[in-house]
Amino acid sequence: MKFRGLAGAALPFVLSMGCWVTPAAADRDHDDNRSAATIAARARFFGAENVDDRDGKVRRDRVIFSWVTNASLAVSLEGRIVLLDTYINRPELPPPEGQPDLRRSPIDVQELIDLRPEAIFLGHGHGDHADNAAFVAKWLNIPIYSSPETCDAMQADVARMFNDPNTVNGGVKLIPDNNPVTCIPVVSRGSVPGAEVVHLKQLEPKACIIAFKHIHSGTVATDPSFPFIPVNPDSDPRESSLYPAETSLIPSVPPVPGQMNLRTTGGVGGPISLFYQFILRDDNNFSFVWHNTTGPLKEGVGSDPGLPSPAVGAHLFAIMEALPETDIEFGSIVSLGFPTNGVRDPILYQQHIKPQIYVPIHMTDATPISSSLRFKIAYQKAVVTANVPVRPEIRWMVDPDDFLKPLAYDPDDERWANPDKKRRLRQFCR
């Protein structure tokens, strides 16, 4: 492993990590014999207009995002496919043939497998992000990137699934064997947030991935220096009739044939949170960040070592400011701190990330489902009331209407051109 210092003493070292590439993953870019299921899954996630119906290849001249559920995204970076989180909200069984699909997330876990991503990136280890990860990784023999503590949970998930009697489905094994899943720890065990900035090489030479530990969302006292705009996150009253929960795999409801327990065991890795930036190595260095939780960095409050510490929070903001300029931010609009500070924390992240476009995520869990537009109202009021100087273009997501609606971007668009990006990229990704 190679350590390299960044310019500026305030920033941490960069750890350069190799990628895990299975023979299947190495050949995936040239595989012309993909199954009909993979072609169908990719067309469903990324749009039929963006997928070759003969071999399943996704357009090489586009970066395409597809919102799966909560903070889960399927992403095609010029044809390289990854999953950011693997959770599916309320994975009910598919409907009987000819009947309407009333599942809130209109896919099942098999379709995540059929998509054939080359890697999984987990933002943190709570079930509404990491459910299904070990299952998908086992069947595809692909790596999971996460914290060491969540990697422990992934191995525990493998043991539990392999030993699951699965009696409701006749005792069929959930996974092929109990060998450990490949889980790559992104940061050091028990590290302070921001102590390491890591260069992940999974998508090289196509793209550089930068990652570091930040802070899970949490509640702190109301900030007197930021206007408090309350959020009223009520749910659409039609939810219970539109999306019935009778077949959901929840503790109070016994499973029915066809359902499997693919939830994560969680554990101490649950709140340990990672922030990722992906930067293409092309002319414009199209970039996006993804963080599936948004913490109270101003106060530096959290459960990680070294906290609480406003200095650690300020250091995290400094890392964000030093990153290559961000074109799109996929960031959690929901923070556990919204009862006391509204949407302050997501706005503070934006002031340091400075994205051109903001796409909110994490809107189907932690708050009542279908409450997305309530957060939009609060956000719009807050940026005006606080006279926020940096305001990205907003492309709001509404659950479940925007699930699996592909967002396709042309990385050659001059909008993303910024000569300073390459200088910053060289600091983080040699």
Summarize the confidence of residues 244-265 as an average pLDDT: 78
Average pLDDT over residues 251-273: 87
CATH code: domain of residue 178: 3.60.15.10
Higher pLDDT, 186 or 23: 186
Q: 2, exposed or middle or buried, with CB in 10 Å at 0-12, 13-18, 19+?
A: exposed
Write down the pTM of the prediction.
0.93
pLDDT category, 26, cuts 50, 70, 90?
Answer: very low
What's the rounded mean pLDDT across residues 373-388? 95
Please report how many Cα atoms fall inside a 13 Å half-sphere around the Cα of residue 78, on the Cβ side. 17
Predicted local distance difference test score (pLDDT) of residue 245? 65
Task: Tell me the pLDDT tens digit for each residue of 176-228.
Answer: 999 999 999 999 999 999 999 999 999 999 999 999 999 999 999 999 999 99
- What percent of the chain shows pLDDT beyond 90? 76
How much is the pLDDT for 23? Answer: 40
In the chain, % of residues over pLDDT 70: 90
pLDDT tens figures, 327-371: 999 999 998 999 999 999 999 999 999 999 999 999 877 788 888
What domain range includes position 39?
2-428
How many structural domains comprise the chain? 1
What local confidence, expressed as pLDDT, does residue 90 receive?
73
Q: Is it the case that residue 40 has pLDDT exceeding 90?
A: yes
Q: What is the pLDDT of residue 24?
A: 44
Is the pLDDT reported for residue 89 higher than 60? yes
Residue 55 has pLDDT above 50, yes or no: yes
Q: What is the pLDDT of residue 29?
A: 45
The pLDDT tens digits for 395-415 are 999 988 999 999 999 999 999
Phi first, then psi: give them for residue 393, nearest 5 degrees. Answer: -65, 135
Instruction: Give 3-state DSSP helix, strand, coil % of the chain, rounded to 5.
Output: 25, 20, 55
Residue 258 clears pLDDT 70, i.e. is over it:
yes
As a whole number of angstroms, the longest Cα–Cα distance in the chain is 63
Q: Tell whether the model's pLDDT for residue 253 goes beyond 50.
A: yes
For residue 32, is pLDDT > 80?
A: no
Q: Between 372-385 and 344-353, two packed helices, what is the crossing angle to 10 degrees?
A: 60
Q: Can you give the pLDDT at residue 16?
A: 60
Give yes or no for a contact between 55 and 40, defined as CB atoms under 8 angstroms apart: no
Among 258, 326, 304, smallest CA distance to 94 is for: 258
What is residue 13's predicted lDDT score, i.e. its pLDDT? 54
- 164 burial (CB, 10 Å; 0-12 / 13-18 / 19+) is middle
Question: Torsions phi, psi of 361, nearest 5?
Answer: -135, 180
Residue 18: per-residue pLDDT:
54
Instruction: Kindly indicate the confidence band of residue 15, based on its pLDDT and cuts at 50, 70 and 90.
Output: low
Confidence band (pLDDT; 50, 70, 90) for 255?
confident
pLDDT in tens, 119-170: 999 999 999 999 999 999 999 999 999 999 999 999 999 999 999 999 999 9
Instruction: Label residue 312 by pLDDT band (50, 70, 90).
Output: very high
pLDDT (average), residues 76-98: 89
Q: Would you state the pLDDT for residue 305?
A: 97
Contacts of 337 by beta carbon, 8 Å cutoff, 6+ apart: 217, 218, 219, 220, 296, 344, 345
pLDDT for the residue 6: 31
What is the model's pLDDT at position 115? 97
Virtual torsion, Cα 222, 360, 153, 314, nearest 10 deg: -50
pLDDT of residue 367: 82
Q: Which residue from 12, 14, 10 is spatially nearest to 425, judged by alpha carbons?
A: 14
Nearest to 14 by CA among 5, 26, 27: 5
Q: Look at residue 14 in the predicted model and tell me its pLDDT.
A: 66
In terms of Cα–Cα distance, which of 427, 424, 403, 228 is closest to 325? Answer: 424
- Contact status, residue 253 vs residue 246, Cβ threshold 8 Å: yes
